[in-house]
Amino acid sequence: TQLLEQSPQFLSIQEGENLTVYCNSSSVFSSLQWYRQEPGEGPVLLVTVVTGGEVKKLKRLTFQFGDARKDSSLHITAAQPGDTGLYLCGTSYGKLTFGQGTILTVHP
Amino acid sequence: DTAVSQTPKYLVTQMGNDKSIKCEQNLGHDTMYWYKQDSKKFLKIMFSYNNKELIINETVPNRFSPKSPDKAHLNLHINSLELGDSAVYFCASSPGQGWHTIYFGEGSWLTVV
């Protein structure tokens, strides 16, 4: 059983579309992080959310931490080919643990 | 200057061989990690060191032996390589344990044939 369940696992969309990636758990977390991994590179931190209900924006990316601090979502507006990559949610629940990841492909 | 650098980037080797992957971080961090990413892109922690001391040792075969000569270096030695060891191995570091930002290296692509 995964501590963090991400969905969808794969997402293939056209440039300009919107999308949402979900990260869910039955556990409560003190914080949750989102990373993006581009092909051939290591993951890079996008954001850390700490407070229940918190919303953080990073240009066209909007991150939300659930009120109960058990889940989080990442919404991308008007996706671009440069958004293509693997998106990982992770939490330090004793050790840094990641969800299975969402592979996003944005076609021009 | 690369913050977390690991070598080699690509490694193709035969079953049964012994190989090492080296990692260095120039961020002054206390904590270093080794992660394994399988073919399905699942990223799982293998080891964590804090100030040269082993903190986390996941259920990893004892053919895998990490070594931290100082807090800026964490090397991974693998004995008797098996086909199932083929994966991407990421070194990473963070200022300390807990939810600090994790900085990853570019990965080492290991293929066992």
Q: Which residues of A touch B101 (CB under 8 A)?
A: 33, 45, 48
Residue B9 pLDDT more than 80? yes
Contacts with B, A 69-108, CB within 8 Å: 86, 88, 90-92, 95-98, 100-101, 103
- Partner-chain residue, chosen from A30, A35, A41, that has the shortest CB–CB distance to B106: A41
Q: Are strands B10-13 and B108-112 parallel, antiparallel or unpaired?
A: parallel
A2 pLDDT exceeds 80?
Answer: no
Q: Do residues A49 and A72 touch, judged by C-beta distance below 8 A?
A: yes
pLDDT for the residue B57: 84
Confidence of residue A94 (pLDDT cuts 50, 70, 90): low
Q: A86 contacts in B (CB within 8 Å)?
A: 41
Task: Convert the pLDDT of each residue in B69-86 to its tens digit.
Answer: 999 999 999 999 999 999
Find residue A98's DSSP bridge partners.
A90
Confidence of residue A97 (pLDDT cuts 50, 70, 90): confident
- DSSP per residue, A54-87: -EEEETTEEEEE-TTSSEEEEEESS--GGG-EEE
Please answer yes or no on whether B104 and A92 come within 8 Å at the CB atom.
Answer: no
CA distance B104 to chain A (A): 5
Number of alpha carbons in the 13 Å side-chain half-sphere of residue B67: 9
Residue B58: phi, psi to the nearest 5? -70, 180
Per the CB < 8 A criterion, the answer to whether B12 and B113 are in contact is: yes
User: Residue A3: is its pLDDT beyond 90?
Assistant: no
| pLDDT at residue A93 in the model | 63
How confident is the model over A66-75, as pLDDT tens digits? 999 999 999 9
Which 8-state DSSP code applies to residue B102?
P
The answer to whether B87 and B13 have CB atoms below 8 angstroms apart is no
Q: Nearest Cα to B98, choosing from B42, B46, B56?
A: B56
Chain segment A32-69, per-residue pLDDT in tens: 999 999 988 999 999 999 999 999 999 999 999 999 99
Smallest CA–CA separation between A88 and chain B, in Å? Answer: 9
Contact A90, A32 (CB under 8 A): yes
Decide if A96 and B101 are in contact by the 8 Å CB cutoff: no
